[in-house]
Structure formats: structure tokens, C-alpha cells
Structure 1
Amino acid sequence: MTAPDIASEQSSASPEQESPAPSWRESMAVYLQPRVLVVMFLGFSSGLPLALSGSTLQIWMRELGVDLGTIGLFALVGTPYTLKFLWAPLVDALHVPLFTRAFGRRRGWLVFAQLLLIVAVLLLGVTDPARSPFFVALAALLVAATSSTQDIVVDAFRVESLPESEQAAGMAGYVAAYRIGMLVSTAGALVIVSAFESGGLPRGSAWMWGYVVMAALVLIGTVTALVATEPAQSVKVEAETSAETTLARVLRAAVGAFSEFLGRKDAIAALAFVVLFKFTDAFSGTMTAPFVIDLGFSKVDYATIVKGVGLAATLIGGFAGGFVARRYSLATSLWIGGVVQALANLSFSWLAVTGVDQWALALAISAENFTSAIGTVIFVAYLSALCQNPLHTATQYALLTALAAVGRTYLSSGAGYVAKATGWPLFFMICVIVAIPSLVLLGWLQRRGHFEALGPVRV
């Protein structure tokens, strides 16, 4: 059977039969399935590195007195997250010497990418943001490149390893664990650095050892990859395409994925919507950590609230997003998610006026985490609905998530200059306004029947 035959065989499967709703115990039991647990741990590993080259690094730089404009420009080191679709076909087609033979097609790439990620995080930890900004930027770029490569493999592993009955639980667990990984590398890292400082270490050494701890936590994903089983679908595809040349496999993965997607109605508008939907979050998120430090809060105050109240708000928001997506149509759900995540920025404007008050900070962080989680779960459901061809899921998903990172990486790079020119209260009001283009596109796509063409979406 050839690769196209595999795709047609999967797409011609019979429709799902109506079945009784699962009981509460059956619904919870699926989260304990080994494949779902593996995906959850890999989700943690994917979420961990993002902040290490983002918000956590920004706090480190701000503590050392680095200019706000420079800090904002450091958003550009996230470029690999926006370009990862370019090498996603290579990950699909190429073998890693020794690793692929020892662990398999997907697991080999996972272990290889995670080992490189550990090295990159350690390199970032030994740099000095105040004295060597160029080397800091280079190390942060390496962290983003290895992290985005890991994301490509994890997404492919998740899609290929989970059966239909476990896809929803796997997605929910992955998103929750991803957010927890991000919180560990922000709030957790700040608590660890503060503990090292309290123990008598100089600030630079405390930050270095904090990044060493974060590098060690990447091993959670490595151990998970080692104990996991190579997806049966990956093994089957590998066997069926083994006679093809490497170039043929790369071209099939790349050309097929892009041409199939771009051939759809209103494809360009849909891609623009993918870029802009989370922009309101990205624009404000770039400056949230420096804003809190500027108000006079310590990094321990920020870390404690983010790790405690923020984590709870994130998890509750994730469940709320899942409820919204199940209760309403995809278009309506996107409207709800888009509006609430934009309006949450007003809580930071209020905090800027209120001043140093921990209750106000807790409320603002909770509102941002809660609404962001709602928007994220609904957005992930939309991205999954766009990946309709199982033969190209990994590459198409890499393309879509890369485009979604454009707002965080490029469009947000000038946020520091805007905040410097306007002041914090007005800056966060502007963060609400930048959500308008995505909502205009949402209304236009809805009138064009874009969401009806995607069919029902399972979350």
C-alpha cells in the first residue's frame, strides 16, 4: 500500500455510530491510559522551554536594567516558532543517525531534539544579558529552534499514537500540561532563582543555576520518550515508504501539505486569522513581566501569584474553553474566546492605576490566565479542524502553529517601545484594540461559510 493509499483508506472510514454518553468514571479513566499519560508528559516538555527564551529571560534582563525597547526586541528570538513549518517535512522524512535506528522514527527525533534543547538552555544560563546581549540572543535563538523542533515531533507523535477514543483526552491533557510547563519555567524558575539568592549566591550565579534546573527538567520529556512506544501508524508509514528516496519523501510531505491547504476556499483569509487571533494575548504578554517588576512587585510576589492563583485560573479556564467549544458552534466559540481574551487586558490597565497591591495583581493575573486558556483551547480546536488530511497533519499543524507564533514573535516586537511611549495604563488599552482585526476577519469568514465547511469539531 502506498502513502496515498493510506490517506484514502483513513479518510474513507465509515462515520461514527451514535453511542451512549460515557459515564463520569469512564470519562476520567481515559486520562489514565498509558498513551494519554505519555502525551501529557510530552506536553509538559513542550511548554517548558517557551518562557526560558521569553518572559523569564525578560525578567532577568529587566532586573539588570536592560532598556524596555531592547527587551521588546528580544521577542524576535522566537523566529524559529514561526518558521518551523519549513523544516517540518525534514522531520517527517529524514532519519537521525543512531537515534532513529535505536528508538524509531518519532522517538528518535524526540530524544535527539531534547538533548539539543538541554545544551541550548545550559548555554543560555551561562550568558550575561547586560554584558553580552548578542550571545544571549544567540543562545535564546538556539533554545527556540530546538524547542520548536521538539514541538513538531510531539504534535506528530500525539496525532499518530492516540486512537480516536483517546484523542479528546489527549488534547485536553496536552494543553493543560503545556500550560503547567510554561508556569514552571516562569513562576517556578523565579522561585528557584530567589531561593539561590537567599542562600547567598550572587544574582548572576543564581540565574545560571536556575537555568540549570530548568535544563534538568527537560529530562522528564526525554525519559517519557524512552519509555513510550513508537506509534504503530508511524511504523506502518515508514515501512510502506521505505522504498522511496529521501528527496521524494521530503517533497511529498512538503508540497502535498501546502498545496492541499492553499487550494481551499478563503485559505489566505483563514491563515491571516490564524496569525491575528492570539495577537492581543501576545502583545500584552510580551510586556506583562516587565510591567509587574516596574510596579514594584518582587519576582517572588509575581512567581507566587502566577504559580498559585494563575495556575488555578489556567486550569479552570481550560475546562471552561472546552465547555464553550462543546456547547456552541466553532464560530460562536471563537467569538467568545476572542472577545474575553481581549477585554482581560483592561485588568492590567486597572492594576497600573491601582499600584502595588497583591490582591489587584492576583485578580489581573487570574483574569489574564483564565481568558487566555479559554481562547487557547478553542483556538487549538480550530487549528485541529483545519488539518483535515491525515497524511499531512504534522506538516500542516506545524505551518498553522508557526503562523500563530507570528504575533508573538514579530508583531509584538515593538510592544516595548509602545509601552515606553504611552505608559502602562494606555498600553494595555491598546492591547484590547489590536484584537479588532482578528474579530473583523472572524465575521468575514463566518459570512463566507468557512466554519460550516470544516464540519463538526470534537474537543
Structure 2
Amino acid sequence: MASEPAAVAPAATTARPSWRDSLRVYLSPPSLRMLALGFSAGLPLLLVLGTLSFRLREAGVDRSTIGYLSWVGLAYGFKWAWAPLVDRLPIPLLTRALGRRRSWLLLAQGGIVAGLLGMAQADPRASLAAVVWSALAVAFASATQDIALDAYRIESAPTDVQPALAASYQTGYRLAMIWAGAGVLWLAARAQGVEAAGYDQAAWQWAYRVMAGSIVVGVLTVLLSPEPAPQPLPRARSAGEWLNTALVEPFAEFFRRYRWQAALVLALIAVYRISDVVMGIMANPFYVDMGFSKDEVAAVTKVYGVVMTLIGAFVGGALALRLGVMRILLLGALLSALTNLLFAWLAGYGHSVPALIAVVSADNLASGLASAAFIGYLSSLTNISYSATQYALFSSMMLLLPKFIAGFSGDYVNAFGYAGFFTSTALLGLPVILLVVLAARVHPAAGSR
């Protein structure tokens, strides 16, 4: 299918768009497609992590085992390892019919559905291994979908529109996480009956089957969407030449383009979300220790938190389109650090639902804004000839160091308390602000997009 022209001004336009034009981009076909595909991307994550942990604990699986099983999520951190295959390798018959990006999206979505049906069928009390292997299949297929989807988004619109597409993607992603988090629990509870207690395999089986069926949102979007304009691929004369083109060249091209400045760019990618990620590990224990009930935390984080994240994402996308990605990237880094200080203030203020609403709302607003700008920034760094491989590398890098440091967050709280911990996570944002200022002087090489 022919590529659909973007319903926005081309990247070369120098005039600043009006606020009306900046917001109108969210109603364009590429943005609406990203909303639906974002839902498809966000659905599997909790089903193999948070929601699965709830199910396993209810089934009597011990907490240590549940903790080890969270390593299933490492598939998302190492997706760069097979990204070159997704970027280059055609799928027999399917690629000819749908194109390179849509064929991989459809194949990955089929893998997600199969894995979720396997998780639905398997009873963790009888065969925990079956649940684990099915969850691993879902995580692998989901990470593959992310690779193909990021490439599809990058190739579907100019660089200046990418923050808006990222905001639409985030919106769909967050809605899917609500459905895969609170929604699946609600489905299982309704199937089991409000008066019943304990683990009910039939109820969880029904809930996971509904989740598998929900992937139809992404499947239909892929089938009804145009394939981006295909990028010419160099013809390989040998297996070694193909491996060099698929595996080595995407990374070599990035370093050739940025030279010594590549270290600066990669450093920024590695630490940009460090304040949020490190702080987020101790957020739920903090709520518990402050005396907030499950109902209070659920209401505040699922309602106010999600709404403010979506507002932040849309505002960030619109501002980046109007003012430029780097200015909003700097604003996001500053706000992410400052809102961590609000948690330090709450630690001293004590139990107060209105105060929790204010702090969570501010934190999620900053997170949504920063995420939209950051995804737009990562998109601007990719060469469209290697979009899947390079973006997979960037999006994997942004979590590895923060996740590693976050592992020590409990020890830090035990030693210095919550107020000291949240203040320290805010200070982690100071190097990020400096790196954004320095990276603002580095522009993507002409013609890379």
C-alpha cells in the first residue's frame, strides 16, 4: 500500500505553527494510528509483570519466586539484540503483502495473542513453568512489536511531528495499562463472584482471554494503515556482508554521524529518566509506610496520576512542536527533579490525601511532559535507514543504568529515610540538566532523516 502523506507541515518549514495547528496534529491520521497502536503496545507489559505477580501470589506462589520471575521483563531491555533482524529481515509472504513494518507488527501481535492464551490456559498451581514460558513468549513478542512500532512511527512523519505522535502513543499506552491492570482484576473478580475468595483458575482464564482479544485494536489498525514509504536497502552479496549491514552498520553510522559528540548524546539517553525511575521503585512502599490505604493510593494514582500524565504528554508534544524538542527536554528534566522534592516535603507533612493528590498530580504531569519530549528527541537521532535498530538501542539504554541504581533504593531509604532519599533522587537530575544544555548544541546530521 502506498505511503500516506503526513497531514502536517513538512519539517523544513521555518514558520512557527499556531497553537491551533499545534493541537490539530492530534487529530491527524498518524496521531490517531499511534493512539491505537500505543494501546496494543501497552497491553502486554503489566500482564507479564504487575498483574501476573498478583495472580501468582493469590495462587500461593512465594514472594521470592515471584521476584525472580520479574526477570521476564528483561526482554524489553535487550530488544536491541534482535532489532537488526526486525529492521532488515523480510517475512515470507507476509512482507510482500503488507510491507516490512506492518508485517512484523502483525507477526508480533500474533505472538502476543498466542502467549496470552497460553497464560490463560496454564494453572500456576499445577505447572508454574507453563505460565513462565507463556509469559516469556508474550514479553519477547511484545518487545518485537515495540521495535517494529517505533520504526513505523519514525518513518510515518517528519521529525518535528514526532513529539505529538509520541504523546498520542503514550495516551494509548497508558489507557492499555489501566485496562491490563485494574481492568483485568475487575474482570477476574466479576467472573469469580464478589462473595468468593481465594484463587479461581476459571476466573483468571476468562480475564486473560479477554486481554488476548483486546489486541484486536492493534491488529485492525495495522491492517487498515498504510505502510511507510520503503527505504532502499543495500543488496548484500554474501552472508557476511548482510550481517555487517544489519548488525554493525546501524551502530557505526551513528558514531560516524556524531563522532566524539556521540558520547554526549548516549550519556544523556542513559540518565535522562534517572530521577523518575530510581524514585519510582520506592513510591509504593512510601505510600504504605505513610499510612495511605490501597483504596486511597489506587484512586489517586489511577485517576489523578493517569489524567495528569496524559495532559503532560499532550502539552509536551504541543510545546515541542511549537518551541522545539530541546527546550521541552530541558523543561522536563527540571520538572522531574523538582517534583521529587515534593515527595520529600510529603514525607515530613504526613498523611494527607489532598497533599498526595497534589504531589502525584505534579509528578505525573512532569513525567508525561518529559516522556513526550524524550521520545521525540530519540526519534530525531535515528537515521531512517536504520530506524528500528537504532531506536531499539536508544530505548533500551535509557533504562539499564537507572534500573541498576534503583536496585539499591531500599538500602538507601533504610539508611537515610524517605526525605533524604527523595532529595537525593532530585539531585540526580542536576547532571541531566547539564547534559541537555550541552546536547542542545548537537543537531542531527543533515539528511539523516
- Which residue of structure 2 lines up, in the alignment, with residue 452 of structure 1? 441
Report the counterpart of residue 5 of structure 1 in structure 2: none
Counterpart position of 2:4: none
- Residue 321 of structure 1 corresponds to 316
Distance 2:417 2:16 in 1: 56
AA in 2 matched with 1:112? L
Q: Are 2:12 and 1:16 equivalent residues in the alignment?
A: yes
Residue among 63, 69, 77 paired with 2:72: 77
Secondary structure of the corresponding residue to residue 12 of structure 2: coil
Report the alpha carbon displacement of residue 149 of structure 1 after superposing the two structures with TM.
0.7
Q: What SS does the corresponding residue of 1:109 show, helix, strand or coil?
A: helix
Counterpart in the other structure of 1:398: 392
Structure-1-length-normalised TM-score? 0.78
2-side partners of 1:339 and 1:72: how far apart? 33
**Equivalent position of 1:304 in the other structure:** 299
Are the aligned partners of 1:338 and 1:439 in contact in 2 as well (CA < 8 Å)? Answer: yes
Q: Which amino acid aligns with 2:299?
A: T
Which sits farther off after the overlay, 268-277 or 327-336?
327-336
Task: Tell me: CA distance 1:342–1:217, structure 2 relative to 1, closer, same or farther (3 Å).
Answer: farther
Pair 1:153-2:148 in alignment:
yes
2:249 to 256, 275, 282: 256
> 1:306–1:216: structure 2 CA closer, same or farther, 3 Å change rule?
farther
Note closer, same or farther for the CA distance 1:109–1:134 as it changes in structure 2 (3 Å cut).
same
Please tell me whether the aligned partners of residues 309 and 366 of structure 1 are also in contact (alpha carbons under 8 angstroms): yes
1:453–1:437 Cα change, 3 Å: closer
What are the equivalent positions in structure 2 for 1:98-137 lying under 5 Å apart? 98-124=93-119
Cα shift at 1:275: 1.5
Please give the secondary structure, in 1, of the residue aligned with 2:227. coil
Q: Judge which range, 393-402 or 166-175, deviates more.
A: 166-175
Query: 1:412 and 2:406 equivalent?
Result: yes
Would the aligned equivalents of 1:121 and 1:212 in 2 still touch at CA under 8 Å?
A: yes
Question: 1:9 maps to what in 2?
Answer: none
Q: What do the CA deviations read for 1:335-385 (whole angstroms, capped 9, x no partner)? A: 332232133234444555666654344333322211111211221232123
Quote how far apart the aligned CAs of 1:226 are.
Answer: 1.9
For residues 375-415 of structure 1, the C-alpha deviation after alignment (integer angstroms, 9 at most, x for no partner) is 1122123212322x221222111110011121454443444
Would the aligned equivalents of 2:166 and 2:376 in 1 still touch at CA under 8 Å? no
Q: Which one-letter code corresponds to 1:271 in the other structure? A: L
Could you say what secondary structure the match of 2:95 adopts?
helix
Q: What's the offset of the Cα at 1:259? A: 0.6
The one-letter code of the counterpart of 1:16 is: A
- Structure 2 CA distance for aligned equivalents of residues 126 and 241 of structure 1: 45
- The residue aligned with 1:93 is 88
Q: Which amino acid aligns with 2:84?
A: P
How far the C-alpha of 1:293 sits from its partner, in A, is 5.5
Query: Does the CA-based 8 Å contact 2:163-2:373 persist in structure 1?
Result: no
Cα distance change, pair 423–135 in 1 and its aligned pair in 2 (3 A) = farther
- Are the aligned partners of 1:89 and 1:250 in contact in 2 as well (CA < 8 Å)? no
Give me the whole-angstrom Cα distance separating, in 1, the residues matched to 2:131 and 2:410.
Answer: 18
Cα distance in structure 2, aligned partners of 1:230 and 1:268: 34
Corresponding residue for residue 6 of structure 2: none
**Structure 1 residue 35, shift from structure 2 partner:** 3.6
For residues 194 and 422 of structure 1, the distance between their equivalents in structure 2, rounded to whole angstroms, comes to 40
Cα 1:437/1:21, change in 2 over 3 Å: closer
Alignment CA distance shift 1:178-1:422 (3 Å):
same
Partner of 1:342 in structure 2?
337
Secondary structure of the 2:280 match is: helix
Cα 1:63/1:423, change in 2 over 3 Å: farther
Contact 1:92 1:250 in 2 (8 A): no
Contact 1:283 1:431 in 2 (8 A): yes
TM-score between both structures, scaled by the size of structure 2: 0.79
Q: After the TM superposition, which of the residue ranges 59-68 and 412-421 deviates more from structure 2?
A: 59-68
Contact kept in structure 1, 2:271 and 2:402, CA below 8 Å: no
Deviates more, 1:37-46 or 1:193-202: 193-202
Partner of 1:199: 194
Q: Distance in 2 between matches of 1:327 and 1:151?
A: 27
Counterpart residue identity of residue 104, structure 2? W
- Measured against aligned partners, the alpha-carbon deviations of 1:173-224 in whole angstroms (never above 9, x if no partner) come to 2233233333333344444455556534544335554444333322211121
Structure 1 residue 93: deviation in Å?
1.8
Q: 1:215 aligns with which of 203, 212, 215?
A: 212
- The one-letter amino acid of 2:156's match is S
Which residue of 222, 226, 233 maps to 2:223? 226
Q: Residues 30 and 328 of structure 1: is their aligned pair in 2 closer, same or farther, counting only changes over 3 Å?
A: closer
Assess if the C-alpha contact under 8 Å between 1:291 and 1:424 holds in 2. Answer: yes
**Counterpart for residue 11 of structure 1:** none
Structure 2: how far apart are the matches of 1:155 and 1:39? 10
* Residue-by-residue CA offset, 1:288-336 (whole Å, 9 max, x unaligned): 3455456665655444333321222012212332355457665554333
Q: Which runs of 5+ in 2 are unaligned?
A: 1-9
The answer to whether the 8 A contact 2:35-2:172 is kept is yes
Structure 2: distance between partners of 1:196 and 1:297 = 29
CA distance in 2, matches of 1:216, 1:395: 29
1:359–1:119 Cα change, 3 Å = farther
